[in-house]
Amino acid sequence: NPYILATLLFGLGLGTTITFASSHWLLAWMGLEINTLAIIPLMAQHHHPRAVEATTKYFLTQATAAAMLLFASTTNAWLTGQWDIQQMSHPFPLTLITLALALKIGLAPMHAWLPEVLQGLDLTTGLVLSTWQKLAPFALLLQIQNVNPTILVTLGLASTLVGGWGGLNQTQLRKVLAYSSIAHLGWMILILQYSPSLTLLALLTYFVMTFSTFLVFKLNKSTSINALAISWTKAPILTSLTPLVLLSLGGLPPLTGFMPKWLILQELAKQDLAPLATLAALSALLSLYFYLRISYAMTLTMSPNNLTGVTPWRFSSPQLTLPLAIATTATISLL
């Protein structure tokens, strides 16, 4: 029903906006809760056991994270007597809040729910989960000062490594995208303490690249690597562009995805964290491997039934192709 859809999308926007606009922990928590409650029906809209299972898992993790956040903020109010997000000073609630937000966005080692949940959703809801749902927790992470840098660096490095290794043995595209999401979030968290503007830049480029990847898979109606092998017959021009999109997601120059990685490595080197930068750069190679494997399945092997007669050269749905064209161009050439 369009009215229900509009209400849910409004709730989704409202929750994030409340979190953005709040300087009080209670309001921030409320925004996160509204946000979670609004996306739950969207996730369970296909009445399929797999979707319901994913929704339940998502709801439980998000509720746990929100409860942790509320507990940490009340503890902070109890210890220091104030509720302001910017004025956090006590290390215990600070650590607890950081961990709660890490669970909310799916950073390693609290990442295990993300691939499972994403695999149970359709591509559109999966896109919302991978992009929009990250905004509110990131707004809070950017606002809290003086977190112990060791925690953030550990979370970030663990996420880049888990995101690389986890995606290697996947054949399902949504799980690959989930692990890629974990790896990208790891890069953002690594640099959060030293240069918040770089974190925002990485988040923005990640949004653009994920948007185009999800739209490509949606257009091909493919959810596994095997299904990509016959995408030549569905959309030849797009299929020849997709490896560029995927390599951009992996962070290869001269594509857009290289920019945040380059700047983050440079900043880490400036902060005398060369070993950390080296480890992060090596973990990017893991991600690159599974993007290359998807590209190989799509374009470097010919599909058996490649008849030019049945190839639809024109796309039929304009509401999908315009955002796809914009996102793909941005993903490939923003560097």
pLDDT over 90 (residue 328):
yes
Lowest mean pLDDT across 87-96, 192-201, 299-308: 299-308
pLDDT score, position 310: 55
CA dihedral in degrees (230, 231, 234, 236; nearest 10)? -120
pLDDT score, position 302: 65
Q: How far apart are CA 62 and CA 42, in angstroms?
A: 15
- Among candidates 110, 192, 182, 181, which has minimal Cα distance to 150? 192
Question: From the CA atom positions of the chain, what is the Rg in Å?
Answer: 20
- Among candidates 176, 33, 14, which has minimal Cα distance to 100? 33
What are the tens digits of pLDDT across the range 200-232? Answer: 999 999 999 999 999 999 988 889 988 888 777
Q: How far apart are CA 43 and CA 27, in angstroms?
A: 25
pLDDT above 70 covers what percent of the chain?
Answer: 95
Tokens 């996730």 correspond to: 43
Copy the structure tokens of residue 129: 């989960």
Is the backbone peptide bond immediately before 109 cis, with ω within 30 degrees of 0? Answer: yes
Q: Are 194 and 249 in contact (CB under 8 A)?
A: no
- pTM assigned to the model: 0.94
* Band of pLDDT at residue 68, cut at 50, 70 and 90: very high
pLDDT score, position 314: 61
Arithmetic mean of pLDDT, 158-187: 96
pLDDT score, position 313: 55
Arithmetic mean of pLDDT, 242-259: 94
Q: How far apart are CA 60 and CA 312, in angstroms?
A: 43
pLDDT over 90 (residue 149):
yes
Lowest mean pLDDT across 15-19, 87-91, 155-159, 233-237: 233-237
| Segment of 233-247, 255-269, 295-309 carrying the highest mean pLDDT | 255-269
Domain ranges of the chain: 148-332
DSSP string, 161-202: HHHHHHTTT--BHHHHHHHHHHHHHHHHHHHHTT-HHHHHHH
Q: How far apart are CA 151 and CA 295, in angstroms?
A: 35
What are the tens digits of pLDDT across the range 74-121? Answer: 999 999 999 999 989 999 999 999 999 999 999 999 999 999 999 999
